[in-house]
Copies of this chain bind each other. A is one copy, B any other.
Amino acid sequence: MSHVVIIGAGFGGLATAKALAGSEIPVTLIDSNNYHLFVPLLYQVATAALSPADIAEPIRHILAPYSNVRVVMGRVAGVDTAEKQVHLTDGEAITYDRLVIATGSTSTYFGHDDWASYAPSLKSIEEARAIRTSVLQSFELAERAQDPVEQERLMTIVVVGGGPTGVEMAGSIAELARHALARDFRHIDPATARVILVEAGPRLLAAFPETLASYARRSLERLGVTIMAGKAVERIDAAGVTIAGTLIPAATMIWGAGVRASAAASWLGLTADRSGRIPVAEDLSVVGKTDIYALGDTALCLDDAGRPLPGLAQVAQQQGTHLGRALRANLTRGTALPPFVFHNRGNAAIVGRHAAIFDFGRGRRLRGFAAWLLWAAVHVVLLVDFAQRVRVSLQWLWRYLTYRRGARLITTPPQPTRAP
């Protein structure tokens, strides 16, 4: 039976593996982490509302019942399409008959890679933890600072990028300062912290309708977030963020501005689009290849109107389920792969304290507390594991009732241990 190799255990890769699980088809799922990460909730780890384990589930555990699926924790170095092999960085080669590329996206600093060391993005648990440490540590230092200028720098947080990530981060940090930390300090008032959200484009949330974006803007402003739209960041360094020639001194800077597809296109020697995405046909096969498929953030998949599908978890997940089922039918019964059709379940963003916006397309919208309730319900259901659902639901309920944040830990990097 043909061997299906899937690279990446994000929403797309995991959905593909699940759709193939329990069949006769041998499947190998490769990821550099041992866990599936629920990235849409990563901003809650960065702002001390959830613990990493609340939004991450061991991949092995999810797939443990299915003996046809093997999980490999490893990093891919490249693909040999002639030999049909995936090469891992440790030298192992895994031979495939069909290859599914679901390697997602990374942050891009638009040629300013040195900015990354000052302004982490929000793509991994490690980055979320670094942001959490920076915010909390800065407040600790501000509490003890004598110099008011330094105190102001320490209490200034700049979020770059007015997309959903930037909006959710800015709102959540403002909430943390205004509510969770409100009574904890003696010399500073955390509610006076400056949270600045910078967007190069003319308005926040360009992917959402104007009315929802305006609502989001008002919600954030009510939380005390300063919004600077139409301003490009010129420089990020240890001193702060320079915007339109003016330095804004800041101790915490967060990058939510640019996303680029993974390096998978170069593995295949393909010409990617401007964002690094691999063009795929409507059955998700990579254009020009018959045994390789791509999906999720790393694939350029066009809708009926010829527009690229957005880089959303629901797109990747639907594509993964579709492709997994299609491959299953193809490999067991020889059925041709049907085209993928995306069903928009609603594009959402959280805008501060228990308010959200939802865009279902074709003019159907929802905003405010009802939208937040829907968002919360959807995210709890989407969380992989039942125990996680219970835990996260209880924590949200608790936080909603008390404004509190449980995971406010300033932790340093682990002690180095011996190389294995």
Q: Which stretch of A125-133, A159-167, A215-223, A308-316 is in the interface?
A: A125-133
- Say yes or no: B35 contacts A415, CB within 8 Å: no
CA distance A139 to B67 in the complex (A): 18
Q: Which of A56, A58, A417, A420 has the most CB of B within 10 A?
A: A417
Instruction: Enumerate chain B residues within 8 angstroms of A184, measured Cβ to Cβ.
Output: 58, 60-61, 64, 71
Instruction: List B contacts of A412 (CB < 8 A).
Output: 126
Segment among A95-103, A285-293, A400-408 that sits at the interface with chain B: A400-408
How many copies of this chain? 2
Contact at A414–B130, with CB atoms within 8 Å? yes
Partner of A127, one of B33, B61, B414: B414
Q: Is the CB of A406 within 8 A of B387?
A: yes
In the bound complex, CA of A143 to CA of B418 (Å): 20
Q: Tell me the chain A residues, 132-167 only, with Cβ under 8 Å from chain B.
A: 133-134, 136-138, 140-141, 143-144, 154
Which of A197-205, A260-268, A321-329, A391-399 participates in binding chain B? Answer: A391-399
Of the residues B54, B74, B409, contact of A125 by C-beta under 8 Å: B409
At the interface, yes or no: A214 with Cβ under 8 Å from chain B?
no
Q: Are A118 and B418 in contact (CB under 8 A)?
A: yes
Which A residues, 30 to 63, have Cβ-Cβ distances below 8 Å to chain B?
Answer: 33-35, 51-54, 56, 58, 60-61
Complex Cα spacing A237 to B418, Å: 8
- Taking a contact as CB atoms closer than 8 A, the residue among B72, B92, B414 that contacts A126 in the complex is B414
A416: interface (CB < 8 Å) = yes
- Chain B residues, CB < 8 A from A56: 409
Could you tell me the distance in whole angstroms from the C-beta of A359 to the nearest C-beta in chain B?
32
CA distance A394 to B394 in the complex (A): 10
A242 in the interface (beta carbon within 8 A):
no
> Is the CB–CB distance between B417 and A388 below 8 Å?
no
Q: A141-B420, A394-B391 are in contact. Are A185 and B60 (CB under 8 A)?
A: yes
Give Cα A399 to B373, complex, Å: 29
- Contact, CB under 8 Å: A53 / B406: yes
Q: Tell me the bound Cα distance from A251 to B415 in angstroms.
A: 16
Decide: A410 near B127, CB < 8 A? Known: A61-B184, A64-B183, A184-B58. no
Q: How far is the CA of A391 from the CA of B117 in the complex (A)?
A: 35
Q: Does A129 contact B408, Cβ atoms closer than 8 Å? A: no
A390 close to chain B: CB less than 8 A: yes
| A103 CB → nearest B CB, Å | 18
Once the chains bind, are A186 and B67 in contact (CB under 8 Å)?
Answer: yes
Neighbouring B residues of A387 by C-beta, 8 Å: 395, 398, 402, 404, 406
Query: Is A111 an interface residue when CB atoms closer than 8 A count as contact?
Result: no
A150–chain B nearest beta-carbon distance, Å = 10
- Are A61 and B413 in contact, CB atoms less than 8 angstroms apart? no
Distance (Å) between the CB of A89 and the closest chain B CB?
12
Contact of A335 with B by CB under 8 A: no
List B contacts of A53 (CB < 8 A): 51, 406-409
How close is A4's CB to chain B, nearest CB, in angstroms? 15
- B-binding residues in A (CB < 8 A): 33-35, 51-54, 56, 58, 60-61, 64-65, 67, 70-74, 92, 116-118, 120, 124-127, 129-130, 133-134, 136-138, 140-141, 143-144, 154, 181, 183-186, 237-238, 251, 253, 385, 387-388, 390-391, 394-395, 398, 402, 404, 406-420
